[in-house]
Structure 1
Amino acid sequence: MARVLIPLADGFEELEAVAVIDILRRAGIQVVVAGLGAGPVKGSRHTVLHPDETLDAVMNEDFDMIVLPGGMPGVAHLREDARVRELLERFRSKGRYLAAICAAPSILAAYGHLDGKQATSNPKFKDQVAIDRVRYREEAVVEDGTVITSRGPGTSIPFALALVEKLAGRDKRNEVESGLVLPA
């Protein structure tokens, strides 16, 4: 079974985090939500989530993918956390998936993980993502090798479904998608 790590920081974007957690779990993927510290984490619109673990508790565990939700100031907190940077380096060196949505692709860009890749982000963060050696796209979800990026709260469901397809295949994606009763 695939395992996904989702680090959460105060100020995360609720729709992006919860939609991804929910859809991955519907697909039977093991999701570990890890707070930067102990205790509940408050989203950008004051929704409180209780992470499964602290980031320290899972730093040495093996995962297939890391997903960075957007939201401010959550993205700033993730970018400033040395453990997140270390995890991103480790995932990349092992050829694991790096996924980010909304403002979070700016973290991948800042650390060089988008060099030579196609990527997208929330339009407000385009100037932090569309930097040298990044081919910026304005599509809902952009996949380039082991990097998957998306634009914002409104693209959370297609983003999560793309992650399911990467980890569990097209048939599982179709199964989960049909259960969501999305508009045509």
Structure 2
Amino acid sequence: MKKRVLVPLAPGCEELEAVTIIDLLRRADIEVVVAGLEAGPVTASRGVRLLPDTTLDEALDADYDMVALPGGLPGSDHLAEDPRIGAVLNRMHEGGHFVGAVCAAPKVLARNGILQGKKATAYPGVLQSEGHEAITGNAVTRDGTVITSRSAGTVMDFALEIVEVLCGQETRQSVEGSLERSR
């Protein structure tokens, strides 16, 4: 059965993170539902306009294997302030499904109690300002069903981690190999 991931987009999201997550997951043949908080294009943090597939209200009732949050400011603040995001994150987490966030977006997980007792990483200072102490500083941290990542510079590793947990190591290696990344 094809895996499904919800990627909510808020005004001021980090476009590099959003597009990288969407692109790499779709390369792995994951169904990615891109949902704007409101109808219409979303203007990202550097003025790039992104066109979601649907609205968050239309996407909320569907079943997903994961919710993945791109970061950026003020996008992460908009996500943190939206009660619909908190509700879907908690529903997913309590149901044993994966939730993930990159850059400033781990604050959304922290504010919804999802990081309680979990190790996590985020853009420097983000989790400290939320009172979270179990910060790894790694590029990507997975603790149970919670995956976090540090920044736009680590988002490719974040997306590949999602591919691996949802589709397996072989699919991750296939997607990563097609990127011709040098290390």
1:93 deviates by 1.4
The normalised TM-score by structure 2 is 0.97
Aligned length: 182
- The percentage of aligned residue pairs carrying the same residue is 51
Distance 1:128 1:19 in 2: 26
Q: 2:162 matched to 1:163? A: yes
The normalised TM-score by structure 1 is 0.97
Structure 1 residue aligned with 2:126: 125
Distance 1:13 1:55 in 2: 18
Distance 2:57 2:34 in 1: 12
Instruction: Tell me if structure 2 keeps the 8 A contact 1:120–1:129.
Output: no
Q: Deviations over 1:92-128 (max 9, x none)?
A: 1111101000000011111110011110000031313
Q: Deviations over 1:112-158 (max 9, x none)?
A: 10011110000031313552xx5110100000000000000000111
SS of the residue 2:64 aligns to:
coil
Structure 2 residue aligned with 1:182: 181
Structure 2 residue aligned with 1:27: 28
Q: Which amino acid aligns with 1:32?
A: V
Distance 2:43 2:75 in 1: 9
Structure 2 residue aligned with 1:51: 52
Distance 1:28 1:143 in 2: 22
1:174 deviates by 0.1
Q: Relative to 1, partners in 2 of residues 1:170 and 1:82: Cα closer, same or farther, differing over 3 Å?
A: same
Structure 1 residue aligned with 2:106: 105
Q: 2:171 matched to 1:144? A: no
Distance 2:129 2:162 in 1: 23
Q: 2:8 matched to 1:7? A: yes
Structure 2 residue aligned with 1:62: 63
